[in-house]
Structure 1
């Protein structure tokens, strides 16, 4: 994938795996776009099994910040099992306000 398609923000809407909507309205965090395509380092996939509920996660380093985000990529299992390679490029999405937590969660929508 040519690097001119990649985004290069300083961080991914802050350093946590979620964004407080108050930080957006108070302009502490600027939201100029809801998707980023970024090259990351040290990408690892993992599955957390909680009470028969499997949560797919991606852990990576972006710009010196360690992130641990939920993943919705339909190819996650084949990547996690080592059946498909990746190039450390992620499509990161900032989700809509989630009523249960009152926050916008960051999601790995694609692993490339």
Structure 2
């Protein structure tokens, strides 16, 4: 485990934003190790940060707050259109199948043949 500056750990434990700015671009694993040291110091010395513990976390994963609502709406609309087209295609295929089966049944009846579902066993 790496050794960290005691002043940096103490400043982070006390909620220093300047100290946080120094470490925020470090790799996540290193920030987590620093966070463990900060938590240990807080427990040992009963330190309550100046900001009351709110604000920032040392080993918190950075989150993106940007959501393009128009792109989401357009994507959902495309998916709904595709689903509608697929349902229409499936319905048309069902209708064509029924028409074809009916045509075959009529042809068999006109030629005097039994229906397919009434074949002798």
For this structure pair, what is the TM-score category when the shorter chain's length is used for normalisation?
Answer: under 0.3
Which has the greater radius of gyration? 2
Name whichever structure is richer in strand by fraction.
1
TM-score by length of 1: 0.24
Name whichever structure is richer in helix by fraction.
2
* Higher relative contact order structure (alpha carbons within 8 Å, sequence separation ≥ 6): 1
TM-score by length of 2: 0.23
